[in-house]
Amino acid sequence: MTEVISKRTDIIKDPVCGMEVNDLKKSLSAVHKEKDYYFCSEYCKKTFKNDPESYTPATAQQHDDGGGHKH
């Protein structure tokens, strides 16, 4: 049996909950410090906009609580 390994580069993770965001054209987004961020839900987008510094690479931390919601 042959194992197929796919290395997709078009998958982005929601910075709030860590969920994969696949369809960037249809995804919710926000710009912070000239960088685009994509979200799985309006809740994650609002959470990010309320405190973007907590979710940007400068802090380099993924929140373990899933942004307060479950998928």
For the stretch 3-61, pLDDT in tens is: 655 555 567 999 999 999 988 888 899 999 999 999 999 999 999 999 999 998 765 44
Residue 35 belongs to domain spanning: 12-68
- Specify whether the CB–CB gap between 13 and 20 falls below 8 A: yes
Whether the predicted pLDDT of 63 surpasses 60: no
Look up the pTM and report it.
Answer: 0.66
Q: Report the C-alpha gap between 2 and 22 in whole angstroms.
A: 26
Domain contains 29: yes
* Residue predicted with more confidence, 62 or 22: 22
Tell me what pLDDT residue 71 has.
Answer: 58
Kindly state whether residue 1 falls inside one of the protein's structural domains. no
Q: Is residue 30 part of a domain?
A: yes
Q: What is the pLDDT of residue 58?
A: 63
Number of structural domains, the chain? 1
For 28, the 3-state DSSP assignment is strand
